[in-house]
Chain A
Amino acid sequence: MSLDLSPFDRELIGGAHGAGAAFAMRLLVRFAEAVDARSLIDIEAAHVDGVIYHGRASLDLAERMVGLGGKVRVPTTLNVGSVDLIHPELFRGTKEHAENGTRLMHAHVDLGCAPTFTCAPYQSASRPRFGAQIAWGESNAIVFANSVIGARTNRYGDFIDLCCAMTGRAPAYGLHLTENRLARALVEIVSIPDDWDLERLAVAVGHMIGRRCGGLIPAIVGLPPSMSEDDLKALGAAAASSGAVALFHVVGRTPEAPDLKTACGGRKPEFRLRLTAKDLREAARSLSGIADGVRIGAVSLGTPHFSIDQFGRLVLLLDGARPLVDIFVNCSRATLGEVRNRGWEEPLRAAGVTLVADTCVYVSAILRADAGTVMTNSGKCAYYAPGNLGVEVAYGSLAECVASAHAGKVVRL
């Protein structure tokens, strides 16, 4: 029942690889014991979700590691921070919050993490390979890596993703192990609203899976095979917000589910969920706290961060007329660079779009205090923004969000 440490693990604890790695290893061993792991495994990469400033303790931990001369041992990307370092003028919070948030982001870069500051690291150069053992934080990134790529990570949270990065090790438990990755729930999409696009379908299905499947890994049948990666990103983000979903299989679409039998490992599902067009319409409606036609103060797109393909779709929807309310689009600095390369930044600005990099409107102090109701195309933002920002949220498709921004009120198409 005890944790079996390798000679290398013992070197790490003993300080042979530096005081920073020893500090991280002490925490990691306690964590491994708490999750009842028998051993640790090597990881290829990490994604650290500790760069949003929640209080002094997280800053003290990162700066302690820097002070000990710590460096990450595997390629490590960073999640969104509290501040847009590219556009710092967007921050409307206190000076102290901005300073501590910026220090926290810099401390992680000092540890050797790449300054990616994105919640969608899988849509950039740092995408892991199929089967890779990784230690990722950030719920939408975790579910995407497991489900769409077939890389292997548990839901690593506060401090532990960083400890894995600093040691190159992770506890051998949960979704790192083949036997724990099989589907145990069957989700059947029986019918689909015929006027819906795939992104809205993905959000509604994800929201229902999070609410109904508990901790069981779902195998989904009945989704169109033409679902894009951005659609699956939206599905996972919604499921990981309304529930603790870390892995889903779309039969015939995702890599560990060529067919239902393989996805389930030949076993019968323990739980079945049938979703009809009516259920899905209700799910989409439940994400909107306000009625159609109500005035909105802003539109927020890109939770998780907008991809370059999504920018391509947005550009086609904008006709150059200025909307009545601000349209915020959250993206990584890498995607922002690509937007500039394609010559889209100026047309987007002219069409009333504010580009937000390095952070996300729903975890940062960017919206005006009087923004009131916010409209979004994100199931995740719709789920969390009322609690995080104290705003009412309307959910709609990308096209509805753009039309609503122009009308200044919730418009349905």
Chain B
Amino acid sequence: MSAQAFEAVTLVPGEASGPVLRLDEPLSFWGGLDLATGAIIDRWHPQRGASVAGAMLMMPSGRGSSSGSATLAEALRLGNGPAAILMLERDAIVVVGAMVAAELYGLACPVALADGRDWEALAAVASLTLKAGPEGATISAGL
């Protein structure tokens, strides 16, 4: 699928690439993320211990406290946030956290809404590149 590009909807613009981390369950950033490392610390999460730092985070939907926005922004400020976030449902907490990091620190963590039919194909590759512009986003395999 190396030549294939998948269309997506831009929620927060920017460009990023990195290794894929697909979450098996939604993650609440507040209380679920170690800001100092980017590791998942939610004791109930099946991927506890995995790091979101620098990853193309595939998270179908959001979860948890609205304090997650400040937590995501803080993780991005410290350089321990994801490179980009791909979702299947709009999530205001994620969007606000990424926007605040972009506005305050100029740190791009683009957020895009992917098509559910593409999800398995996206999760099957080692790394992804996201280009999210004002008119729309494209996701492609590789760095």
Complex-state Cα separation, A392 to B140, whole angstroms: 50
A residues near B37, Cβ cutoff 8 Å: none
Take A27-B100, A159-B100 as given contacts and tell me if A57 and B73 are in contact as well, using a CB distance cutoff of 8 Å. Answer: yes
Name the contact of B74 in the complex, choosing from A30, A33, A57, A64 (C-beta under 8 A): A57
Name the contact of A30 in the complex, choosing from B66, B77, B99 (C-beta under 8 A): B99
- Cβ–Cβ contact A31 & B70, under 8 A: no
A residues near B105, Cβ cutoff 8 Å: 60
B residues near A54, Cβ cutoff 8 Å: 67, 70-71, 74
A residues near B141, Cβ cutoff 8 Å: none
Take A31-B92, A31-B95 as given contacts and tell me if A57 and B66 are in contact as well, using a CB distance cutoff of 8 Å. Answer: no
Q: At the interface, yes or no: A23 with Cβ under 8 Å from chain B? A: yes
Q: At the interface, yes or no: B7 with Cβ under 8 Å from chain A? A: no
Take A27-B96, A30-B99 as given contacts and tell me if A158 and B70 are in contact as well, using a CB distance cutoff of 8 Å. Answer: yes
Take A56-B74, A57-B100, A61-B104 as given contacts and tell me if A157 and B90 are in contact as well, using a CB distance cutoff of 8 Å. Answer: no
Name the contact of B67 in the complex, choosing from A27, A61, A157 (C-beta under 8 A): A157
A residues near B101, Cβ cutoff 8 Å: 57
Take A30-B95, A55-B70 as given contacts and tell me if A64 and B104 are in contact as well, using a CB distance cutoff of 8 Å. Answer: yes
Q: At the interface, yes or no: A317 with Cβ under 8 Å from chain B? A: no
Take A35-B90, A54-B67, A158-B69 as given contacts and tell me if A27 and B74 are in contact as well, using a CB distance cutoff of 8 Å. Answer: no
Complex-state Cα separation, A156 to B15, whole angstroms: 28
Q: Say which size band chain A's interface belongs to.
A: 20 to 34
Complex-state Cα separation, A8 to B91, whole angstroms: 26
- Cβ–Cβ contact B71 & A34, under 8 A: no
B interface size (C-beta, 8 A): 27
B residues near A57, Cβ cutoff 8 Å: 70, 73-74, 77, 100-101, 104
**Which of A10-25 touch B at CB < 8 Å?**
23
- Cβ–Cβ contact A158 & B95, under 8 A: no
Q: At the interface, yes or no: A26 with Cβ under 8 Å from chain B? A: yes
Q: At the interface, yes or no: A155 with Cβ under 8 Å from chain B? A: yes
Complex-state Cα separation, A60 to B105, whole angstroms: 9
Q: At the interface, yes or no: B79 with Cβ under 8 Å from chain A? A: no
Q: At the interface, yes or no: B56 with Cβ under 8 Å from chain A? A: no
Complex-state Cα separation, A303 to B134, whole angstroms: 44
**Which of A145-165 touch B at CB < 8 Å?**
155-160
B residues near A31, Cβ cutoff 8 Å: 92, 95-96, 99
Q: Which residue of B lies closest to A63 (CB)?
A: B104
Q: At the interface, yes or no: B11 with Cβ under 8 Å from chain A? A: yes
Q: At the interface, yes or no: B12 with Cβ under 8 Å from chain A? A: yes
Take A27-B103, A57-B100 as given contacts and tell me if A160 and B92 are in contact as well, using a CB distance cutoff of 8 Å. Answer: yes
- Cβ–Cβ contact B70 & A30, under 8 A: no
**Which of B54-106 touch A at CB < 8 Å?**
65-71, 73-74, 77, 90-93, 95-97, 99-101, 103-105
Complex-state Cα separation, A23 to B91, whole angstroms: 21
Name the contact of A33 in the complex, choosing from B11, B77, B104 (C-beta under 8 A): B11
**Which of B1-53 touch A at CB < 8 Å?**
11-12, 31, 35
Q: At the interface, yes or no: A354 with Cβ under 8 Å from chain B? A: no
Q: At the interface, yes or no: A58 with Cβ under 8 Å from chain B? A: yes
Q: Which residue of B lies closest to A156 (CB)?
A: B66
- Cβ–Cβ contact B74 & A34, under 8 A: no
- Cβ–Cβ contact B103 & A55, under 8 A: no
Q: Which residue of B lies closest to A55 (CB)?
A: B74
Q: At the interface, yes or no: A7 with Cβ under 8 Å from chain B? A: no
B residues near A35, Cβ cutoff 8 Å: 90, 92
- Cβ–Cβ contact A30 & B65, under 8 A: no
- Cβ–Cβ contact B90 & A55, under 8 A: no
Besides A27-B103, A387-B31, 14 other A-B contacts (C-beta < 8 A): A26-B99, A26-B103, A27-B96, A31-B96, A31-B99, A34-B11, A35-B92, A54-B74, A57-B104, A61-B100, A158-B66, A158-B97, A159-B69, A160-B96
Residues of chain A at the chain B interface (Cβ within 8 Å): 23, 26-27, 30-31, 33-36, 50, 54-58, 60-61, 64, 137, 155-160, 387
Q: List 14 A-B contacts (CB under 8 A).
A: A26-B103, A27-B99, A27-B100, A30-B11, A30-B99, A31-B95, A34-B90, A55-B35, A56-B74, A57-B100, A60-B104, A157-B93, A158-B67, A160-B92
Q: Which 9 A-B pairs have the closest CB atoms?
A: A157-B66, A158-B69, A55-B74, A57-B73, A34-B95, A57-B74, A34-B92, A158-B70, A58-B70
